[in-house]
Amino acid sequence: MKGQSSAGGRSPRAGSRGTAEITVLVVDDHTVVRRGLVALLATEPGIRVVGEAGNGLEAVERAEALRPQVVLMDLVMPEMDGVEATSRILARHPDIQVLVLTSFGSDAKLFPAVRAGAVGYLLKDTTPEELVRAIRRTAAGESPLNPGVARRLLRELAHEAEREMPQGEALSPRETEVLRLLARGLGNLAIGERLFISEATVRTHVSSILAKLGVANRTQAALYALRQGLASIDEIDV
């Protein structure tokens, strides 16, 4: 049934980070698509679908109850669209990662989704392998943002004089190094290995970067870095 946990019965608190298992909530108003995604992810080791939702309102309710690590979010749905659902979910649980999977690649859908806090944006013609990789990267704290999407976002930001990205506080040299690598799509572990610091230290730096720049998530921080010339679109690891 729509909105039911695919595990059957009550799921454990899915938001727990004490396990290596990636917990996923699948949100799509088309039953065939949703069930197909659930079946696909069921074959992947280390990934567990803890619930499904058929519209944005159900997505908000299920995310509240299940606390998944990743929400695979459709955008155009009845009751409440994916942009509003993303905004509401992240307002309550900013640690949840929202990965958009949609049929719509238009800027009218892309920009609101990223501004709402989505960390990645995929089209439904993506391959199963690309989708699984994006989910794993999202759960690892990376931002699976396609270079083409990044370019469109940068063009959009460049034409919005009234919505200039805040300059924020000055970053330390180490924070700037972390931001450069973050903008290339690296996760905390990979950044730590590059800079010879612990993953926990990277998390601390990332939190400080977000606060200083006045941005909501890693994707927005990466866009800031690209716009400021701290990283190149060609360097993004997709």
pLDDT one-digit tens code per residue, 183-227: 887 888 889 999 999 989 998 999 899 889 888 778 778 878 877
Q: Which CATH class is domain 166-235?
A: mainly alpha
Please identify, in words, the CATH class of the domain defined by 22-139: alpha beta
More confident of the two residues 1 and 176: 176
Q: Cα 48 to chain center, whole Å?
A: 17
Position 204 scores a pLDDT of 93
State the angle between helix axes of 82-92 and 107-116 in degrees (0 to 180), rounded to the nearest 10.
10
Parts of the chain belonging to CATH 3.40.50.2300:
22-139
pLDDT for 18: 44
Give phi and psi for 53, each to the nearest 5: -145, 145
Residues of the chain with CATH 1.10.10.10: 166-235
Dist CA 26 CA 131 (whole Å)? 12
Distance of alpha carbon 225 from alpha carbon 238, whole angstroms: 17
Does 39 score more than 50 pLDDT? yes
